[in-house]
Structure 1
Amino acid sequence: MINDIDSHKSFWTLRVEVKEKAKNAGGCTIFGNHFGNHDQGIKGTFYYSQANEH
């Protein structure tokens, strides 16, 4: 739940995975510093809303 996230932390750990039993298991490619077309770290923007606001 969103209330479980400590928004005052200076950093968070984000885990991205492909489950072993997924239909297309085999890997997940993420490009960051010195890889791909952009020499920068991975940046993310996240939005959320309460479940009852839809």
Structure 2
Amino acid sequence: MKEGKRLKQISCDLEVSQSAIKQRLMNARRKLGARSGSHAVAMAAKLGLL
């Protein structure tokens, strides 16, 4: 997400299903308290997680 890749490309790169990627991203957003994917990336960067 940090690099602007779409869900389909991330799932192909990691060789996992799109639904698995979607679930992981939703969990990450929830844990960060982010409102969107972009917000999650910004928060993770601010926290030094990226």
> Structure 1 length as normaliser, TM-score?
0.27
- Compare CA radii of gyration and give the structure with the larger one: 1
Q: Normalising by the residue count of structure 2, what TM-score does the alignment of the two structures yield?
A: 0.28
Q: Which structure dedicates a bigger proportion of its chain to helix? A: 2
Larger RCO: Structure 1 or Structure 2 (Cα < 8 Å, ≥ 6 residues apart)?
A: 2
